[in-house]
Structure 1
Amino acid sequence: MIRHARVLPVLLLAPLLLTACGSEKAGDPRPSGSGSAAAPAAAPDTGELASRAQAMGVAPELVYVTEAPGFTLAQQSVGVLGDEGFSATWVDGDTHALLRLAVDRGTITAGTCPEQPVGDLSDEHTTCERDGDAWYRTGAGRHEYALPEEEHVVRVSAETDTVPRDVLRAAALAAHRPDAAETERLLPSAEPAPATPVERGDLPPFGDGAPDNHVGEGG
């Protein structure tokens, strides 16, 4: 996990009164990638974040991080999404359930929500429910919280039968821009790894180091 999980208020994890797509109650909690989550302990190191993200081909402003109890970042999953988006996956150490964070350019509205697939199959039916400022979406055996931000959408998704909705919602609430320490753990270094000399078994440890082409007895 990137950080110790925050303890969310019980109210945020209580069952919500959800309305149909396109409607909401004024008193509903407001899941949001930036406004609802607590501020990081340290300010983001924008220079280091930018250099690491750009080295991967990711737009720095699309890099987010999240957290959920029992889930740990799968480092090999961190990468570019589409042209310059960002994607990473967290794994539950006990159940091996996967929690995916994806951030990309675009918008989502009451009109476009049903047209955007939750899974990888574009012909699957998608249902949408308004949950504060976010959309709770289901389709193709998956469910997702989609959080509209400025010119991009933060999505936290999982398989419906492996990650409960309250866990998914809590992870969506926890999504935020990484601070310096989180950037260090989340993104690979922008510096290329040092080249490792290739060991040649035919170079003798003495003399001028010329290859040993001696042919043994019998050819």
Structure 2
Amino acid sequence: MIRHVRVLPVLLLTPLLLTACGSEKAGAGGAPGSPSAATPAAAAPDTGAGELRVRAQAMGVAPELVYVTEAPGFTLAQQSVGVLGDDGFSATWVDGGTNALLRLAVDRGTITAGTCPEQPVGDMSGEHTTCERDGKAWYRTGAGRHEYALPEEGHVVRVSAETDAVPRDVLRAAALAAHRPDTAETDRLLPSAEPAPATPVERGDLPPFGDGAPDNHVDVGG
């Protein structure tokens, strides 16, 4: 069920060590050209996944619920990125020419033929919802909006827009393009987890002596 958006580290994945096949020890020599001749190297840490995890958790979002999408003419509205419900994810893309909005929302749960009509499109609770199966997704309409909902393991990815603002084929393409972000996309999508440096605020009206209270002295005559 779609819920309202609340406005807006964790251990890195341990590198996996590759070992040689069979009973030979890793790094054991072999005949030139044989599979055991090369020394297995340790896999590099997945720094992209680690950065996604740190940034998402700093926002209060479950890392596995962070998705990104794309559509021709639409760009991410950075200020729209935030938490959905308890630990879900939401972000909006804007068409610079028409100001049409594409909203991506990912939250825990599922959607079936039985529950689809009961779940409102967007945040319009109490409105009638129609559902149509479209491949692995559900095409849903209601309250002047339409949406593609894609059930995933333990969560649902939704891409919605106003019916008159975004054509169905554009909406469908954006929904099918939704995916887990790579390192570069994570950097563009999520704010940095580093806290802003604490800078003391300087008060110009505080005297350098006494108890530090503001000087409210008034001359004779007011």
TM-score (norm 2): 0.72
* Aligned CA distance change for structure 1 residues 81 and 212 (closer, same or farther; 3 Å): closer
| CA–CA distance in structure 1, aligned partners of residues 106 and 60 of structure 2 | 13
Question: Do the aligned partners of 1:104 and 1:154 also contact (CA within 8 Å) in 2?
Answer: yes
Larger Rg: 2
Question: Do the aligned partners of 1:87 and 1:101 also contact (CA within 8 Å) in 2?
Answer: yes
After superposing on structure 2, the runs of 4+ consecutive aligned residues of structure 1 that deviate more than 3 Å are 207-219
When structure 1 is superposed on structure 2, of 114-123 and 70-79 the one drifting more is: 114-123
The residue aligned with 1:213 is 215
The residue aligned with 2:200 is 197
The residue aligned with 2:90 is 87
Higher relative contact order (CA 8 A, sep 6+): 1
When structure 1 is superposed on structure 2, of 146-155 and 119-128 the one drifting more is: 119-128
| CA–CA distance in structure 2, aligned partners of residues 214 and 173 of structure 1 | 65
Question: Aligned to 1:166, which of 159, 165, 169?
Answer: 169
Q: Residue 66 in 1 paired to residue 69 in 2? A: yes
Residue aligned with 1:161, SS: coil
Cα shift readout 1:28-66 (whole Å, capped 9, x = no counterpart)? xxxxxxxxxxxxxxx881111111111111100000001
What runs of 5+ residues in structure 2 fail to find an aligned partner?
Answer: 1-45
Question: Do the aligned partners of 2:122 and 2:160 also contact (CA within 8 Å) in 1?
Answer: no
Alpha-carbon shift at residue 194 of structure 1 (Å):
1.0
Q: Percent identity?
A: 85
Alpha-carbon shift at residue 208 of structure 1 (Å):
7.6
TM-score (norm 1): 0.73
Alpha-carbon shift at residue 76 of structure 1 (Å):
1.0
Question: Aligned to 2:55, which of 42, 52, 55?
Answer: 52
* Aligned CA distance change for structure 1 residues 127 and 214 (closer, same or farther; 3 Å): closer
| CA–CA distance in structure 1, aligned partners of residues 144 and 203 of structure 2 | 52
* Aligned CA distance change for structure 1 residues 142 and 44 (closer, same or farther; 3 Å): farther
Alpha-carbon shift at residue 214 of structure 1 (Å):
8.2
* Aligned CA distance change for structure 1 residues 70 and 214 (closer, same or farther; 3 Å): same
Note the 1:100-139 alignment, pairs <5 A. 100-139=103-142
| CA–CA distance in structure 1, aligned partners of residues 160 and 47 of structure 2 | 25
Question: Do the aligned partners of 1:44 and 1:178 also contact (CA within 8 Å) in 2?
Answer: no
Which amino acid in the other structure matches residue 95 of structure 1? T
Alpha-carbon shift at residue 148 of structure 1 (Å):
0.7
Q: Residue 141 in 1 paired to residue 111 in 2? A: no
Which amino acid in the other structure matches residue 169 of structure 1? R
* Aligned CA distance change for structure 1 residues 211 and 59 (closer, same or farther; 3 Å): same
